[in-house]
Amino acid sequence: MTRLILHIKRLLPLIIFLSGPLYLSAGESNETFRHINLGGGFTYHSIRDEGISSLLYSGRHNTVRAGINNHASSHLSQTEISFSKAYLHPSTYPELTESSVKTIIGKVNYTYMREAANIFNGHLELFAGGSLNNSYVYHRHMLFHNSAVRNSLYSTVNLTGMGAYDFTWNEKDLTLFYRMSVPVVSFNIRPSYAMSKPIGYLTNPGNGTKAFLESVEVATVDSFRGLTNSICLEYRLSSIHGLRLEYKWNYYEYNSGNTVKSGTNALLLNAFVNF
Amino acid sequence: MITRVLIIIITLSLTACEKAFIEKDPANEPVENFQILWETIDKKYSFFEYKNINWDSIYSEYRPRVHNQMTERQLFSVLSEMLHHLRDGHVNLDAGFDISRSWEWYKDYPANFNYSILRSSYLKNTYEEKGPFVTQVIDSIGYIYFGSFTKRVEPEIIDNIIEDFSDLKGIVFDVRSNGGGFSTNVEILASRFADKERLVAYNLFKKGPGHDEFTDPQPVHLSPKGSEQFLKPVVVLTNRRSYSATNDFALKMSALPHVTVVGDTTGGGGGTPIYKELPNGWTYRFSATITLAPDKFNVEHGIPPDIQVDMRQRDISRGLDTILETALELIQQ
C-alpha cells in the first residue's frame, strides 16, 4: 500500500503536466472575455549546471509563444506554451565557439487566479491564485562525448499574484500588468550525479515506467527556489485585437547532487485576438 | 496615481537580476584551475577505493607547487603529473598545445600483434573490407579484424558477415590493438553471438560525492539480435592494447559459452569517461562508473584471456601469428 501511494505521488508530475489544458476547457462556460495570443521574442539565458560544467554559460534564445486566455468577471485562467532554442557559450571564453551548449526549452504553463481586490475606482485589479509550470530543458555540450546530452523536466506548483492597471495615455487605452510567481513544490527529473541519464533509467534500463517513477525528485523551497517576474503593457488596436509587450524574468536554483542556477530575461511581443 | 503604480512596478522589477544569485566564474588563474580540477575529480572519479589512491595526500603534495605566476606549460605539467596518479587511460587533460595521457595499461607489455604479418600471411590479397571490418576465410574458418570501435558499426554489415560465415566451422574475432571507441557498438556486435539472454556484466554509477557512493551493482544483460546469430565456436583475440569499449566487448563475449578469449590480458578501462572543462578552457575527462564481470571481478585493469598466448619470436621471424594460429587450431579441434 505504501508502495502504491509512493507511486501515485511520483505520478503527480505527469498528472499535473496534462491537467492544465483539460482545466481550461472546463472553465470556458463562465468567461466574459476570451482570446488567443501568438508571439515571440528574445530571451537572454544564463545558467550554471554543475552536472554539465563548473562554468557559467550564457546566450540569447529565440523564443516563440502561444496561449489561450479566459478572463471572466471574477477570475482568469491562462494556458501558455513556449519554445526556445539557443547556443550558450561559457562566459569566461565566449570566443571558443566549439565549447557551446545547445539548449532547447519547452514550457507549458497553466495559471488560474481569482480577483482579490478592485481599487482606484476600478482602475487597478489585483488577482491571486496559482500556476502549474512544466519545463522541459535539453542541453547538449557540443565539445564533449559521453554524458553530453542531458534532459531535465521540472514541474512546479506556484503561488501567483497579478495586478492589472488600466490607464489612458495620448488618448490610447492601455493596461499595465505586473505578475509574480513563486514555486512552492516541484517534481523534477534530472540527470543523475555523474551520468546524463536520470538515476531511475540507470537502475531500471528495461522498464520505462519504473525508470520514470524512480527518477522523480520531490522538492520544496529547501532545495528548489525560484521567482518569475513579468511586466506587460497591453495596447488594444480594436475591440478584438491587441498587442502585448512583455518583459519577463525567471530565476530558479535547484540543489540536488549537482546545483543548477538558471536565470532568463525575455523580451516578448504578442498579438492577441478575441474570440 | 499612475506614477505610484509605475514606481511600485519598477521597484519590483529591479529584483529581476540573476547576477545577484549566480556567482561569477572562478578566476582564470592557475590556483583556481587546479582547485576545480582536483575537486571535480574528488567528487566524481570512480576508482579511488579500488586503486587505493589517497587523493587528499595528492592535494597536499601538488597544491604547494601551483601559484598564480606560473606559465600555462608549467601548470599543465603539474596537473598532468597529478592526474598520472590515477593510473587510468581514460584520464586526459587537453590543453590545446598538449594532451596528458597514461600509457601504463600497455606500455611495458608485449605487443602481441603485428599487422604486417597478418596482412602478408593471412589476409593476403583476397581479404574483403566490409564497413569497418576486414574479413577473410582461413581454412574454412571466418576471420574478422576490427581495428577501432571509433568507427560506427551498422547492424546490417555485421548481419551480412554472420550470414556469409554461417556455413564455416567457426569465427576468429580479432580486436587486438583496438583502443576502444563507441560503446554502443559493443552490444550491436556481441548480440550477434548471443544464444539467449544472459547476464554479462554489472555497472555501478556514482550517486554522490563520497569516494564510495555508488548505486548497487546494476546487472547488464545481453540478448540475441540480428537476423541470425553465430553459435558455433568463436575465438576472440585480445592483447594489452585492447582497451575501453574493446575491453567491454571482450567482457561480454567471454560470458557466452561458445566463446573463448585467446591472447593477452586486455588493457582494461572499465569506467565510462565523462568530460569537464576548466576556467582556462582546457578540457579533461575521467572515469565515472565501475564495471564488474558477472562474478564481480573489477575489469578496470583488464580481463585475463581463457588461454594466455604470446607471440613467439620464432613464429614472427617465420611470418606467423602465434595467437591467431592458436585460435585456428582451437576451432579446428
Residues 254-283 in B contacting A (C-alpha not used; CB under 8 Å): 272-277, 279-281, 283
**Residue B169, in any domain of the structure:** yes
- Answer yes or no: is B36 within a domain: no
B150 belongs to a structural domain:
yes
Q: How far is A20 from chain B (nearest CA, A)?
A: 27
Residue B296 resides in a domain:
no
Residue of A nearest to B33 (CA): A54
Q: Is residue B167 part of a domain?
A: yes
Q: How far apart are the first and last CA of chain B?
A: 99
Query: Residue A12 above 70 pLDDT?
Result: no
Facing residues of A160 across strands? A129, A181
Grid cell digits, residue B35: 582547485
**Of the candidates A120, A223, A7, which has an alpha carbon nearest to the alpha carbon of residue B2?**
A120
Chain B residues touching residue A143 (CB < 8 angstroms): 275, 277, 283
* Per-residue pLDDT tens digits for B112-171: 999 999 999 999 989 999 999 999 999 999 999 999 999 889 999 999 999 999 999 999
Residue of B277, B286, B290 to mutate for A, most A C-beta atoms under 10 A: B277
Give residue B256's domain range.
115-194+229-268+303-332
Answer with the residue of higher pLDDT: A105 or A119.
Answer: A105
Q: Which residue of B has its CA nearest to A199?
A: B207
**pLDDT computed for residue A142 by the predictor:** 86
Per-residue pLDDT at B310 exceeds 70: yes
- Chain B positions touching A257 (Cβ under 8 A) are 207-208
Q: Which residues in chain A are closer than 8 Å to B44, comparing Cβ atoms?
A: 193-194
Residue B180 lies in a domain: yes
For residue B77, being part of any structural domain is answered with no
| Average pLDDT estimate for B251-277 | 95
Are B277 and A178 inside 8 Å of each other by CB?
Answer: no
Residue B5 to residue A176, Cβ atoms within 8 A: yes
Give the number of A-B residue pairs with CB atoms closer than 8 Å.
134
- Of A89-93, B232-236, B329-333, highest mean pLDDT: B232-236
Could you tell me where the beta strands, DSSP code E, fall in chain B? 92-94, 99-100, 128-130, 133-138, 141-146, 171-174, 198-205, 218-222, 234-238, 259-263, 273-277, 283-287, 289-292, 307-308
pLDDT at B116: 93
- Contact call for residues B302 and B267 (beta carbons, < 8 A): yes
Residue of A nearest to B43 (CA): A194
CB contact under 8 A, B18 and A249: yes
User: What's the CA gap between B61 and B77, in Å, rounded?
Assistant: 14
Q: Which domains are seen in chain A, by residue range?
A: 2-274 (2.40.128.100)
Report the alpha-carbon distance of residue B73 to residue B92 in Å, rounded.
Answer: 15
Q: How many domains does chain B have?
A: 1
- CATH number of residue B261's parent domain: 3.90.226.10
Q: Is residue B158 part of a domain?
A: yes
What's the ipTM?
A: 0.82
Q: Do B206 and A53 touch (CB under 8 A)?
A: no
Mean pLDDT to the nearest integer, B94-101? 93
Q: pLDDT at position A20, please? A: 41
pLDDT digits (tens, 9 = 90+) for A149-202: 899 999 999 999 999 998 888 888 899 999 999 999 999 999 999 999 999 998
Q: How far is Cα B242 from Cα B253, in angstroms, rounded to an integer?
A: 14
Going B233 to B131 to A149 to B270, the CA torsion angle's sign is: positive
The pLDDT tens digits for B35-60 are 999 999 999 999 999 999 999 999 99
For A31-85, how does the pLDDT look when each residue is reduced to its tens digit (9 = 90+)?
Answer: 467 889 999 999 999 999 998 888 999 999 899 999 998 887 788 899 999 999 9
Taking only the tens place, the pLDDT of each residue in B180-211 is 999 899 999 999 999 999 999 999 999 999 99
Strands A216-220 and A172-189: antiparallel
Burial class (CB in 10 A: 0-12, 13-18, 19+), A105: buried
Contacts of B46 in chain A (CB under 8 A): 194
